[in-house]
Structure 1
């Protein structure tokens, strides 16, 4: 006989889904980078290209793992997830400065939204913190 735990509260469920969405989006970027690495010209700095691709793959895996941990109510997954979301602020800012406001503003909003979802009271209760 198994005892089901109560369903995740809304804010935590949304945070898990948004983190998984970020992981999928970054995974698609990684797939594109792999394609570009495989079709690059001989003059391309392949070491740098592979480093960037590896970073994207690692980021996608980390976001997915954190979403899974939060979905399983692991309080230890919350702080790294918040740190990754806070990293969206400078990225979004420099995108805005570089003329990509259409992408930078949503990234900042997404980071702020997820941080809010991860620190709100229902999430705290579900994770057993605070």
Structure 2
């Protein structure tokens, strides 16, 4: 058994923390969706369950990717980047829909975490150099 004594770089640590924070945020949205599904007077059950399942899956994926990056699993970087880049169109449509106060920070978060994930210290820590 080998122990990696190199400390996790700050960039990788913050990327993992932010992914986990996103997971908590999406998890709260998923909890609200479950509540809304159960208390709605009329609803399209199939659509409601699919949206709720998507939110639960996204929260689980973000949490798992944050943990994998903390353990320096190089294979977690690409899916994490893809999820972060998905925040760009979501933020853009929020801006177009008049919710710029939420869309702009989401876009900034996606770009910021992506920058952390492709930074040189993170790249080295994950063994890409």
TM-score category of the 2 structures, normalised to the smaller one: over 0.9
**Where does structure 2 lack aligned partners over 5 or more consecutive residues?**
none
TM-score, length basis structure 1: 0.95
**1:31-51 CA deviation, whole Å, 9 max, x = no partner?**
00000011111x310110010
* C-alpha distance in structure 2 between counterparts of 1:5 and 1:28, whole Å: 36
Aligned twin of 1:108: 107
**Where does structure 1 lack aligned partners over 5 or more consecutive residues?**
none
Aligned twin of 2:51: 52
For the residue of structure 1 that corresponds to 2:43, the secondary structure is coil
Aligned twin of 1:75: 74
1:70 Cα deviation from its structure 2 partner: 0.4
Count the aligned residue pairs: 129
**1:72-129 CA deviation, whole Å, 9 max, x = no partner?**
0000000000000000000000000000000000000000000000000000110000
Aligned twin of 1:36: 36
Aligned twin of 1:13: 13
**1:10-41 CA deviation, whole Å, 9 max, x = no partner?**
00000000000000000000000000011111
TM-score, length basis structure 2: 0.96
Moved over 4 A (4+): none
For the residue of structure 2 that corresponds to 1:99, the secondary structure is coil
For the residue of structure 1 that corresponds to 2:5, the secondary structure is coil
* C-alpha distance in structure 2 between counterparts of 1:13 and 1:80, whole Å: 17
1:2 Cα deviation from its structure 2 partner: 7.1
1:95 equivalent in alignment to 2:94: yes
